[in-house]
Chains A and B, each alone.
Chain A
Amino acid sequence: MAVLKAVHYINQFYAGLGGEAMADVGLSILEEKKGPAIGLEKLWNGEMEVVKIIVCGDNFINNEDNFQGIIPDIKEIINQVKPDVFIAGPAFNAGRYGVACAKLCDYIRKELDIPSVTAMWHENPAVDMYVKDNYIVSTSETAVGMTKSLPSLAKLALKLAKKQPIGPSRFEGYLRTGHRYNEYHEKIGAERVVDLLLNKLNNKPYVTEIPLRGFEVVPPASKVTELKDAIIALVTTGGLVPMGNPDKIKQAFAVNYGKYDIEGVDSLNKGIYESIHGGYDTTFATNDPHRLIPLDAMRTLEKDGVIGGIYKYFFTTCGVGTNIESSKDMGRRIAVELKNAGVSAAILTST
């Protein structure tokens, strides 16, 4: 069998050009082996070799114009070499290097259809940006762990080059992508869940099959100082819409939100608004929409001078089975509108 071919990407430092002072250097190609490629080839025992090393400075490649500028060159190299795999890094916890590695891997896999893999510390900022669709092998935080980090990278790169099936992250050593695949198991789900529970109750090691998703932590906004001047917006995920749902907001798995005019309106009455939420019994909410958008009590607080005013629209969607990315997108759009409109704070209700 012919020896498999890899193309490897490294930064100015690993190419021996220099450190920070050389971070602005542009694209170059090395024909001789430098940096981690030497260690990787040893681990492949002659089955694969690094045929070309692409080098670029960390500052240079992280400028979007520069990146777009070198893409044609990289494309040409890849099309000419036709590697079986593209490898970048390891970048450890170096932020700019990590982003460059992951971005190139993403591009080469997606646009040039070559399997790709990089490696870095799990907290490298590139992980959040690219891990969803890319193989990123877990490494130590610094290059001190190079020797320990290379075997998993070498192994996964070789498997990708051979087009072998890639197993779950915990066996292959890459960072969890969040993708799930079906597989056959000798035990049915009921047996596996009882095994898991027994291990958990007996303080024995166990591995969950469905890890809980971690949520992004956003620090709290600072408080409102003058409540009597504050404009407050009302938002709900309880699915309150005008009768007939004119904007066709989905009852579940919503991807959009509605915004409805309440300027000069003192109450939201039954028969004019209804809840179309597909995840709870909406009878009580439809009977009195204030249970979701408490406009009546807010108008009283406005008249009493407790708050300065109420934003002229309320916002609404259905929070059930809603995809995190859709939720973030809706949240971002609502937040930007409120901020631009000079709103001071918001009150949200969730069912």
Chain B
Amino acid sequence: MDRVGLPNAHITAFTSIAVNVGANRIVFGGDFTTPAGNPELPLEREKAYRRKILLKALDAIIQGVPSPTIFAFDESREG
């Protein structure tokens, strides 16, 4: 995608792997099996949490980066 000029945000809990394989905009996702969610939260709070992860991903694609960059989501997965 980067090659054809499409900026992209990669949401994953495996940020080290994402860096290693060369994803350029990386967002730390909720969990290994639920990158865009957290099943431990009540539904509404999980939705709010998901919105925050996505806002972080959108924040990543409106920023220029020189190389693989992790956009830290500074939360204890609580939404």
Interface centre among A216, A221, A223, A300 (most CB of B within 10 A): A221
Q: Is the CB of A294 within 8 A of B6?
A: no
Task: Mark each residue of chain B from 44 to 55: 1 if its CB lies under 8 Å from any CB of chain A, else 0.
Answer: 001100110111
A146 proximal to B (CB < 8 A): no
Closest to B18 in A: A350
- B14 contact set on A, CB distance < 8 A: 350
Q: Is the CB of A350 within 8 A of B10?
A: yes
CB of A241, distance to nearest CB on chain B (Å): 16
> Which among B2, B9, B20, B51 is the interface contact of A347 at CB below 8 angstroms?
B9
> Which among A218, A281, A347 is the interface contact of B11 at CB below 8 angstroms?
A347
Q: Is the CB of B1 within 8 A of A335?
A: yes
Q: Is the CB of A222 within 8 A of B10?
A: no
Q: Is the CB of B36 within 8 A of A294?
A: yes
- B36 contact set on A, CB distance < 8 A: 290-294, 297, 349
Closest to A219 in B: B2
B76 proximal to A (CB < 8 A): no
- State in angstroms the CA–CA spacing of A215 and B24 once bound together: 13
Q: Is the CB of B51 within 8 A of A301?
A: yes
A238 proximal to B (CB < 8 A): yes
Q: Is the CB of A348 within 8 A of B4?
A: no
CB of B60, distance to nearest CB on chain A (Å): 9
Total A residues in contact with B, Cβ cutoff 8 Å: 50
- State in angstroms the CA–CA spacing of A322 and B78 once bound together: 33
Grouping DSSP codes into helix (H, G, I), strand (E, B) and loop, the B interface class, with mixed when no group exceeds half, is loop
Closest to A334 in B: B1
Q: Is the CB of A346 within 8 A of B35?
A: no
Q: Is the CB of A346 within 8 A of B39?
A: no
- A351 contact set on B, CB distance < 8 A: 12, 32-35
Near B by CB (< 8 A), chain A positions 331-351 give 331, 334-336, 338-339, 343-351
Q: Is the CB of B51 within 8 A of A215?
A: no
Total B residues in contact with A, Cβ cutoff 8 Å: 45
Near B by CB (< 8 A), chain A positions 115-162 give none
- State in angstroms the CA–CA spacing of A216 and B32 once bound together: 25
A282 proximal to B (CB < 8 A): yes
B57 proximal to A (CB < 8 A): yes
CB of A304, distance to nearest CB on chain B (Å): 10
- A335 contact set on B, CB distance < 8 A: 1, 3-4, 6
Q: Is the CB of B50 within 8 A of A221?
A: no
> Which among A216, A220, A291 is the interface contact of B67 at CB below 8 angstroms?
A220
B64 proximal to A (CB < 8 A): yes
Q: Is the CB of A221 within 8 A of B7?
A: yes
Q: Is the CB of B34 within 8 A of A284?
A: yes
Q: Is the CB of B8 within 8 A of A347?
A: yes
> Which among A283, A296, A339, A350 is the interface contact of B35 at CB below 8 angstroms?
A350
> Which among B5, B33, B63 is the interface contact of A285 at CB below 8 angstroms?
B33
Q: List 28 A-B contacts (CB under 8 A).
A: A216-B22, A218-B3, A218-B22, A218-B24, A219-B2, A220-B64, A221-B1, A221-B5, A222-B7, A280-B32, A281-B33, A284-B39, A285-B34, A288-B46, A291-B33, A291-B34, A291-B37, A294-B37, A301-B54, A306-B58, A307-B58, A335-B1, A335-B4, A339-B6, A346-B1, A346-B9, A347-B58, A348-B8
The 10 A-B residue pairs whose C-beta atoms are closest, nearest first, are: A291-B37, A220-B24, A291-B34, A294-B36, A349-B35, A350-B12, A346-B8, A221-B7, A284-B39, A221-B2
